[in-house]
Amino acid sequence: MDDLEGKVALVTGASRGVGAATAVALAEAGCDVACAARATESSPQRTPGTLDETVRRVEATGRSGLSIPTNLAVDDEVVAMIRTTKEHFGRLDILINNAAITFVGDLDIPLKRYDLVMQVNLRAPLIAIREAAPVMAAGGGGRIINVSSAAALYPHPSLLAYGISKIGLERLTIDAARQLAPSDIAVNCFRIDIAIASEGFVANTPGADHSNWEPSEVAAEGIVWMVQQPVTYSGRRESMFALRHREGIMASRLANPATEAPATELFDGLAPALAPDFFEEPYPDRAG
């Protein structure tokens, strides 16, 4: 799928950050793009960015964009997201499971919040893959990218639920890759382990120095590269850092880019405490 001209992509979490940047990058590569998220101009969220803005950026490339307001915490809306894309464009070739939420907390996290993180970050991608697979198969195959995080591999303080959801997403990737290979559908995982200044990550880390964080467009370049690989490239769990150095892609926009290689496997043993802990809950009333 090195030539994306005329392909149809669906990107979740496309109102801002890596999702919005990926939607635009896929459009620049020739795709028509369906954009799914909750935030719209008529119903904005507290974090900046809307689907309307992303669709305008997609259409500015000359490709077609589609806004699909979707609450990924609701199973039926995830199913409808796939159906709407197929009905509008007539096909679906690429699915980017990028959307994710987090709440600060460890073993003491309220279970309501834990369940919501799992619903959006892990259950919704499973449903989306299950619904997208027959549509892709009918069109001759497809590509699915699940976006993970360094938190999948290291027990960062305050990110217990988020980290569990992301390591689960990586396991979902390799299982789905095996099951969908006969239908010429490749499933891969892109693990963001270089600090990216997405609106959501910045909001959760108000005490951190964001000046040495890459823009979302750098991660989007890596995701598009993975989409363009042959169908035999599947079941991969790629580190963004390692992929940059191995393939010579995702050139840094920083004067002093990260040089220390992150972990590529799940931490084993008693993890040392990290200090300082920059993660904070920006909207403490968001889930009750």
The phi and psi torsions of 187 (rounded to 5 degrees) equal: -125, 125
Which amino acid type is present at position 48?
A: P
What's the rounded Cα separation, in Å, for the pair 35 and 65?
Answer: 7
Contact 162, 192 (CB under 8 A): no
Q: Which of 114, 162, 233, 283 is catalytic?
A: 162
Active site residue 283: no
Contact 73, 133 (CB under 8 A): no
Residue 286: which of 101, 107, 157, 124 has the closest Cα?
101
Among all residues, which ones are annotated catalytic?
A: 162
